[in-house]
Amino acid sequence: MQRLSSLNEEKALWDQFTHRVQDNLELVTLGDESLAEDLSAETETLEREMEKLEFQLLLSGPHDRSDAILAVHAGAGGTDSQDWAEMLLRMYLRWGEAQGHKVEIVDQIAGEEAGIKRAMVALSGRYAYGYLRAERGVHRLVRLSPFDAAHRRHTSFALVEVWPDLGEEVSVSIDPNDLQIDTFRASSAGGQHMQKNETAVRITHLPTGISISCQNERSQSQNKETAMRVLRARLIQLEEEKLQEEIDELKGEHVDAGWGNQIRSYVLHPYQMVKDHRTNHETGNIQAVLDGQLNELMEAYLRHTLGDER
Tell me which residue of 10, 179, 187 sits closest to 105, measured CA to CA: 187
Q: Pairing between strand 137-144 and 262-267?
A: parallel
At 168, is the pLDDT very low, low, confident or very high (cuts 50, 70, 90)? Answer: low
Q: What are phi and psi of 63, to 5 degrees?
A: -120, 10
255 in Cβ contact with 245 (< 8 Å) = yes
* Eight-state DSSP code of residue 35: G
Q: What are phi and psi of 55, to 5 degrees?
A: -65, -40
159 in Cβ contact with 70 (< 8 Å) = no
Residue 169 has pLDDT above 60, yes or no: no
Q: Distance (Å, rounded) from C-alpha 130 to C-alpha 66?
A: 7
Tell me which residue of 177, 178, 245 sits closest to 209, measured CA to CA: 178
> Exposed, middle or buried: residue 106 (CB in 10 Å: 0-12, 13-18, 19+)?
buried
* Eight-state DSSP code of residue 287: H
Beta carbons within 8 Å of 210's beta carbon, 6+ residues apart: 204, 231, 234, 235, 238
Looking at residue 173, its pLDDT comes to: 80
For the question of whether the overall pTM of this predicted structure is more than 0.75, the answer is no
At 254, is the pLDDT very low, low, confident or very high (cuts 50, 70, 90)? Answer: very low
Looking at residue 283, its pLDDT comes to: 96
- Residues in the chain, overall count: 310
Beta carbons within 8 Å of 27's beta carbon, 6+ residues apart: 35, 39
Q: What are phi and psi of 293, to 5 degrees?
A: -85, 80
* pLDDT tens-place string over residues 290-306: 999 999 999 999 988 87
Looking at residue 178, its pLDDT comes to: 92
Q: Distance (Å, rounded) from C-alpha 302 to C-alpha 57?
A: 12
Q: Distance (Å, rounded) from C-alpha 106 to C-alpha 230?
A: 9
Question: Rounded to the nearest 5 degrees, what angle is found at the Cα of 205, between the Cα atoms of 200 and 208?
Answer: 140
> Within 10 Å of residue 45's Cβ, how many Cβ atoms?
12
Q: Which domains are delineated in the chain?
A: 2-58 (no CATH), 67-170+257-305 (3.30.70.1660), 176-251 (3.30.160.20)
* pLDDT tens-place string over residues 14-36: 899 999 999 888 888 888 888 88
Looking at residue 196, its pLDDT comes to: 57
* pLDDT tens-place string over residues 170-219: 567 888 899 999 988 876 544 444 455 678 999 999 999 999 988 877 78
The predicted model gives 244-257 an average pLDDT of: 47
* pLDDT tens-place string over residues 73-119: 998 778 999 999 999 999 999 999 999 999 999 889 998 889 999 99
Q: Distance (Å, rounded) from C-alpha 187 to C-alpha 169?
A: 32
Task: Judge if the upstream peptide bond of residue 207 is cis by omega within 30 degrees of 0.
Answer: no
Residue 2 has pLDDT above 80, yes or no: no
Q: Distance (Å, rounded) from C-alpha 23 to C-alpha 87?
A: 44
For the chain, strand residue ranges (E) read: 67-74, 102-110, 116-124, 137-144, 153-165, 179-184, 200-205, 210-214, 262-267, 273-276, 281-283
Name the amino acid, one letter, at 307: G
Looking at residue 250, its pLDDT comes to: 44
* pLDDT tens-place string over residues 214-246: 887 778 888 998 898 889 888 888 887 776 675
Residue 255 has pLDDT above 50, yes or no: no
Angle between helices 36-58 and 2-30 (to 10 degrees): 150
